[in-house]
Structure 1
């Protein structure tokens, strides 16, 4: 699936993504400022998270709970120096938990990703709109 959108349409984009029934582990690729964190925030809200969400750049992972008591994990791997660091904080437990796992900068942990995951590629177009490509495995 490919979508061109402006940031004021991001709620509809999140709904379309979830309508595709992606794997619960989702990786988000794109340059800084492409809107990865913003999209993950809206996806979390669409899944029923009411609390404030933010980028886990310094904590590596933020945990949220939706209204049904389901956990949603948001990872930012940008600061990782090696996959061993991710193993040290127990990333495999998260990835195989059956809960939603939204991962920014997943290219830092390519060997740790499960066989089944969804990939969201974001880019910024010259007019400021975003291009999203979703690959569901």
Structure 2
């Protein structure tokens, strides 16, 4: 293992953290929109969306924590290679990859939950249309 091996993860982890930050910003915007809706009328759909968003915010925080942890371990691994502690660098690099994979799995779970939020909105629209047809 040389210095370039852990360096290969740097751009990937950086892009991943950027994607996580974008997901967080979108959720923050959704929460603000729901706050306005909630102030207009506390509705079952809004309450269900709030519960969904709480879980998603927590998951994104975990994704970011694991991504940052992977980034730190990757940098530490590079430093250990630099000072010629190759075996320890390999172990740390392995943990870095493991944290990155965990982060991606949590991201996948958050995506699944985000589709439930869309389903809640669609249920509300269908229900509103059915009430208008009556």
TM-score (structure 1 length as normaliser): 0.22
Q: Which has the larger radius of gyration?
A: 2
TM-score normalised to structure 2 length: 0.23
